Amino acid sequence: MMPLPEISGLARLVDDAWCSPVADAVAARWGCAEGTARWWRSSASHVFVLPDTPEPGAERYLRFVPERYAAYGRFTEVASLMERLHGGGLALSAPVRSSGGLLAETVQTTLGTVRAMCVEGAPGESVGLDALSERQAHAWGALLAHTHEHAAGLRDGLPHALDGIGRAAELYPDDTELAAAVGRIGSRLAGLPRDPARYGVVHGDFELDNLAWEGDVPRAFDFDEAALSWYAADIAHALRDLTDGGVPTAAHRPLHDTFLTGYREVRPLPDAEPRALTLFAGANAARSLVELSPVLRTLDEGRPDELDGLRADLVAHRDEQRRVVLAAAG
């Protein structure tokens, strides 16, 4: 997630119609007139919807990030990955090339230089956990397996998602208990194999929030967190709302197990035993703590009062991630 001052800085440039000169400059690269793009949300990137594009009733989405953030450097790689996955038949929101034929554009705006991409809207509806059927959980697991299968070998320019979790000890220097736990998790990861059956390109955020459903058929979007990691770590992250630190809750075990069945019907999964998923849940939580640190450091730097609710949510999320790390480390 980008720091809150970055998000509020963009918000101040959005008018009552949800338009912004920043988005207008980006949208122009895709041939859209001024005032077409409407602010949708900001998190890992700024997202604007292009309603009725390319035709009435359709929509596309602009995603862009300023050059001072890490995602800027891999936007082109993510867009290329999505195009290749879509071309291979994976059910995802396809990237749209700009008027100049590029998958990602570098644009000078009033917020500085940004890198941008555009993706098609995902047809269908969102399905929350409370409404998810076992048939849909099976399809969810199968789609993640197809994603891993299609992405095998497409690793150019993508970072190793969990290699930097040791920085949590540096970023939270007063928390010696956390530092020791992260160290133990890192040592266990170092002993795990990284062969192609276990390790490769992952989506990074394959939660229900990033799927659109047409009946029981899902379509994936938001590949901003694509990286290299263990496939089981991607599963642990996808299922985190069904688990407590990687262990399925009693209420959600049927959906959890059906998801894994759907996955295994597409490709093998050698590292999905409970102990491994708990370890990966802890590693993912440590990574979240690293990513949260710069956001938390800016919470009180010129922060508008309307973000107080978000601040409280982020602090609660930090505390929960710390709990998951400590539990996984044993």
Indicate the DSSP class of residue 199. Answer: E
Output the pLDDT for position 313.
85
Quote the CA–CA distance of 97 and 105 in Å, as a whole number: 9
Q: What is the pTM of this model?
A: 0.92
Across residues 215-234, what is the average pLDDT? Answer: 94
Give me the mean pLDDT over the 251-267 stretch. Answer: 96
Tens of pLDDT, residues 45-57 = 999 999 999 999 9
Q: How distant is the alpha carbon of residue 301 from its chain centre?
A: 26
pLDDT at 306: 57
Question: Does pLDDT of 228 surpass 80?
Answer: yes
Of residues 70 and 217, more confidence is placed in: 217
DSSP 12-60: TT--TTS--HHHHHHHGGGTPPTT--EEEEESSSEEEEEET-SSTT-EE
Please indicate whether residue 74 or residue 104 has the higher confidence score (pLDDT).
104
Task: Please report, rounded to a whole number, the percentage of residues in the chain having pLDDT higher than 70.
Answer: 97
| 287-to-19, 123, 280, 308, 321 alpha-carbon distances in Å | 34, 31, 10, 24, 9
Does 197 score more than 80 pLDDT? yes
Fold of the CATH domain 4-120: Phosphorylase Kinase; domain 1 (3.30.200)
Residues of the chain with CATH 3.90.1200.10: 129-329
Q: How far apart are CA 38 and CA 55, in angstroms?
A: 16
- Amino acid, res. 236: A
Residues 325/182, Cβ–Cβ less than 8 Å: yes
User: HSE of 25 in the Cβ direction (CA atoms, 13 Å)?
Assistant: 17
Decide if 47 contacts 26 (C-beta within 8 A).
Answer: no
Report the distance separating Cα 216 and Cα 219, nearest Å.
Answer: 10
The CATH 3.30.200.20 domain(s) of the chain lie at 4-120
What are the pLDDT digits (tens) for 297-313?
A: 776 555 555 556 767 88
191, pLDDT greater than 60: yes
- What's the token pair of residue 219? 């379509």
CA 129 to chain centre: 18
3-state SS, 173-184, equals: CCCHHHHHHHHH
Decide: helix, strand or coil at residue 304.
Answer: coil
Q: How is 78-141 classified by DSSP, letter by letter? A: HHHHHHHHHHTT--BPPB---TTS-SSEEEEETTEEEEEEEEE---SB---GGG--HHHHHHHH
Residue 70 banded pLDDT, cuts 50, 70, 90: confident
Average pLDDT estimate for 238-257: 95
Q: Which of 42-46, 114-118, 222-226, 294-298 has the lowest mean pLDDT?
A: 294-298
Q: For residue 161, how many other CB atoms are within 10 A of its CB?
A: 21
Residue 234 pLDDT more than 90?
Answer: yes
Average pLDDT over residues 82-96: 94
The mean pLDDT value for 95-116 works out to 96
Which CATH fold would you assign to the domain 129-329? Aminoglycoside 3'-phosphotransferase; Chain: A, domain 2 (3.90.1200)
Confidence category of residue 98, pLDDT binned at 50, 70, 90: very high
Name, in order, each residue with C-beta under 8 angstroms of 15's C-beta and a sequence gap of 6 or more.
Answer: none
* Through-space distance between the first and last CA atoms of the chain, rounded to whole angstroms: 28
**Continuous segment of H or E residues that includes residue 233:** helix 231-238
Q: What are phi and psi of 68, to 5 degrees?
A: -80, 0
Q: What's the mean per-residue pLDDT of the chain? A: 92
Amino acid at 89: G
Does position 296 have pLDDT exceeding 90, yes or no? no
